[in-house]
Amino acid sequence: MKFRIFIFLLLITPILSFSQEIDNSQAADEWYQGKSIRDIVFTGLNNIPQSEIDGLMNPYKGRIFTDNIFLEMQGKLYALEYFEKIEPSIHRYTSSGNEVIIRFTVVERPVIGRINFTGNSGLRRAELLDVINIKNGDVYNQVKVRNAVEAIKNKYIEKGYPNVVVTSAETTARNSSITLVFQITENEKLSISKIEFQGNKRFKDNVLRSQLSLKTKSLLNDGAFQEAKLITDKEAITKYYRDRGYIDAVVKDVTRNVVEGSKGTNLHLVFMIEEGNEFRFSGVTFEGNIIFTTEQLSRLIISKKGEIVNMTKLENDLQRVADLYFENGYIFNSITRAPEKNYQTNEISIHVAIIERSRAYIENIVIIGNNKTKEYVIMREIPMEPGDVFSKVKIMDAMRNLYNLQYFSMIIPDTLPGSSENLMELVFTVEEQPTTDVQLGITFSGSADPDTFPISGLLKWNDRNIAGTGNELGAELNSSVIDTTSVSLNYLHRWAFGLPLSLGADLSVNYSKRFETMDNQPPFFNTNTDKAYPDGFSSYEDYIDKARTPTRDYLMSYEQWYISLGLSTGYRWSTFLGIFGISGGTRFGIIQNSYNADLFRPFDPALRDGNNTWTPKNSFWISLSLDQRDIFYDPSRGYYLFNRMGFYGLLKEEREHYIRNDSKAQYFFTIFNIPVTEKWSFKSVFGYHVGLSTIFRQPGKEEPVIQNVNKLAVDGMFIGRGWSSEFRNKGHLLLDSWVELRFPLVRGILAFDLFFDSAGVETEEGYYFGKNSEGDSNFTIENMRFSYGGGLRFTMPQFPIRLSLAKRFRIIDNEIQWQKGAIPGIDMDIVMSFVLSY
């Protein structure tokens, strides 16, 4: 027995020894496992930007090497479709081998040097280049080429070439680039010459023809035929009938007669319609509902018994029933609708069968597509978390919050099944847009002061999402060199301590050269006497008649320096009425006004005191707001309420002491939204704004002490568009309102607006809307300045410019007085301004 054990050990020992040698060899070959990735380098990059590769690979630097990490890196590189071949290798960074360098030796795919089109006579080269997503200098990609072929075909079909054939070919050039050629066989173009209807007794041809997207050839329309539009038009005719009680109406066929003409091939379309009978609505019955009573569900049905049935209206009624369940988290319910038609009485009723299931709970919230923005920045804007009941309303709130960040060009929510029956995954797919703005150039200053030079040089840098943290940092230099210069640095922390609490700070230095009225000639006025008037006028009445604006000869110039530090904070709550916010802040600064006292004596006593001395200028403010708008910088629905009160002059040594209150209210709604193409809709948004600003005296003061430049005015740019001549009419009350019809032309970029403005100022403090001690009415319709017109508005946050034409008028003694404009013939004024968002 002992001998047998000895023989076994003798035989097995070499085998175990050999196995250990293999294990040690494998361990030596995989020395890089578990090491830190020091760097990732590339060899063979000629046309691909190194920065693009670095942005993909940098997140892996510093991570621990594993096979999964290595495969993930290679997968991302291959997914770029930039390389024909990728050869990886791993190297020691130091002799100790604690860190590794990963090297990828790549062979790039060829670059497109030129794009050509052959056979295109119906469409120009520029039109075709616009529809493809390929340009010179791009890396050749077969998927993109196939997509470009389809895009060219679709463009031709849209223009009336239903039988177009498009292929692609590539030829190699001398510099190793390729020439991409799209070969087009257009075939005949079909233009619609006539559209008729048969079987329509209830509605005339012209009425039905107005429902079609296909149009006959005319001076303004090429009459191009598209098969996709024909399918849509058949549905449009059917919908038109069913919304007017003819629920069995159907377009049985559309005949096409091709007619060869001297100017091409024409098409004659005939829609064959079967109308059926007119039906009336006889009610909705419910079955299986326990969570919500039949009475609750019936209240959602707006359609009335006995009225001619409107199928779109009825569908909306039934959708409200489904939404009631959906919005309360019952998304797994089964709701079936069975129409019951009575052909003897021509009535229709709907039987709704409901199978109720338990509520859906969110198992996970997943964010996809955020390369720069940190996930927590997105998650904090979503008013839900895992474990919450699903809510459609909260998803809409999340989308509004995310769009208002201005970090994303697209946000798509989706729901996926969870790990069990009543759980679900909530997925947000986002597409990031640039958040860093760098501006350098000559710009319109945007100042409403007509005395300032309107052109200025601008150097600005701003990042609204610095390092993906959701915070904002910016710096700006703006100077006209002649009379204004400002330098500022600002920072905004949007979520402090994990709460919707904002903290902001800004430091600014401002220089300006201004003009002011003088009081050099006797009689001299030492206070704000009611009937005081400056030089250049013969009486107080003359001063008022000439809109308080003397000629330039009677204006003095002075320089102003203002250095200030601002601190602000705010908190916001999401409520069923909208986002409620409270904010406040303070500003500490010093100011100096400087002029030659031997030559000039300002009419404004606040400017007269403290010439050429630095004095403090401090303030603090508090504001309340309620915001239910969908997109705050270009809303299409919702309302906004805002009130801000500021206290100016906190120390006795300061020149100015007053209180200013600003109240604003806005309301928006979409009048119509008609889809025209897949990406563009003809849309109109109604907007209304009313604002009231007032200046009061501080407690213990006999009257507000304030420089003229800081008083309220109709500036003609932001308030009372076109009335720039009113800027010198300073006052203590400002009432302004506008009504706008907005028509977006390019979504998120450009809109055309029609407007009507009204604004007015009251110069006397204390008697705003009543009568003063002498029985005279202060603020009346004669204080108001009116204008109307239209123009273009850029809706990009980075370029908030508005260019308008304005026609002005006043009402004096109940009669309209039209004002002369800068443009002869039409008496209108050109107004350029910035778009203000609150």
Q: What is the pTM of this model?
A: 0.60
Instruction: For residue 17, name the pLDDT band (cuts at 50, 70, 90).
Output: very low
Backbone torsions φ then ψ of 366, nearest 5 degrees: -115, 135
Instruction: For residue 263, name the pLDDT band (cuts at 50, 70, 90).
Output: low
Q: Is residue 569 part of a domain?
A: no
Position 413 scores a pLDDT of: 92
**What does the pLDDT average to over 617-646?**
93
**What does the pLDDT average to over 732-740?**
95
Report residue 736 CA to chain centroid gap: 26
Pair of tokens at residue 127: 């039109």
Q: Which residues pair with 99 in a beta bridge?
A: 36
- Among 90, 97, 93, 85, which Cα is nearest to 69's? 90
Q: Is residue 349 part of a domain?
A: yes
95 and 204 in a common domain: no
**What does the pLDDT average to over 77-87?**
85
830 and 746 in a common domain: yes
Q: Is residue 462 part of a domain?
A: no
837 vs 634: CA distance, rounded Å: 8
Do the bridges between strand 334-342 and strand 280-287 make them parallel or antiparallel, or are there none, so unpaired?
unpaired
- Among 245, 311, 256, which Cα is nearest to 279's? 245
Residue 10 has pLDDT above 50, yes or no: no
**Segment 387-440, tens digit of pLDDT:** 999 988 889 889 989 998 989 988 999 988 888 888 999 999 999 988 887 877
User: What are the start-end ranges of the E strands in 217-277?
Assistant: 250-261, 264-274
Q: Is residue 546 part of a domain?
A: no
Higher pLDDT: 832 or 4? It is 832
Higher pLDDT: 111 or 237? It is 237
342 and 284 in a common domain: yes
Neighbour tally for 31: CB within 10 Å = 12
243 vs 314: CA distance, rounded Å: 9
C-alpha distance from residue 297 to each of 220, 285, 347 (Å) = 49, 10, 21
724 and 820 in a common domain: yes
Position 174 scores a pLDDT of: 67
104 and 116 in a common domain: no
User: Which of 770-774, 809-813, 830-834 is predicted least confidently?
Assistant: 770-774
Q: What's the total number of domains in the chain? A: 7
CATH code of 288's domain: 3.10.20.310
Mean pLDDT across the chain, nearest whole number?
A: 86
**Segment 218-242, tens digit of pLDDT:** 887 888 888 888 999 999 999 999 9
Domain end, chosen from 86, 108, 130, is at: 108
175 and 150 in a common domain: yes
Pair of tokens at residue 637: 């629905």
- Among 498, 501, 437, which Cα is nearest to 797's? 437
765 and 714 in a common domain: yes
727 and 796 in a common domain: yes
**What one-letter code names the amino acid at 427?**
V
Pair of tokens at residue 464: 């609204």
Enter the DSSP assignment of 140: P
668 and 650 in a common domain: yes
**Segment 303-350, tens digit of pLDDT:** 999 999 999 999 999 999 998 998 888 988 999 999 999 999 999 999
Is the N-terminal amide bond of 383 cis, ω within 30° of 0? no
Sign of CA dihedral 298, 301, 303, 309: negative
- Residues 466, 468, 469, CA angle at the centre, nearest 5°? 80
**Segment 519-547, tens digit of pLDDT:** 888 888 876 566 788 998 988 888 878 77
**Segment 353-374, tens digit of pLDDT:** 999 998 999 999 999 989 899 9
Do the bridges between strand 178-185 and strand 555-575 make them parallel or antiparallel, or are there none, so unpaired?
unpaired
Pair of tokens at residue 73: 């890196």
349 and 267 in a common domain: no
Query: Taking a C-beta distance cutoff of 8 angstroms, is the pair 321, 352 a contact?
Result: yes
Run of H or E including 238: helix 227-242
Q: Is residue 17 part of a domain?
A: yes
Domain end, chosen from 413, 432, 451, is at: 432
Sign of CA dihedral 66, 70, 75, 80: positive
Mark out the alpha helices in 280-435 (DSSP H runs).
294-298, 311-327, 375-379, 392-404
781 and 703 in a common domain: yes
Q: Which domain holds residue 156?
A: 112-185
Question: Look-up: residue for tokens 């071949």?
Answer: 85
Q: Is residue 442 part of a domain?
A: no
* Distance, first Cα to last Cα, the chain: 96
685 and 634 in a common domain: yes
Q: Is residue 389 part of a domain?
A: yes
Query: Taking a C-beta distance cutoff of 8 angstroms, is the pair 110, 141 a contact?
Result: no
Burial class (CB in 10 A: 0-12, 13-18, 19+), 102: buried
Q: Is residue 574 part of a domain?
A: no
Domain end, chosen from 152, 169, 185, is at: 185
Higher pLDDT: 54 or 564? It is 564
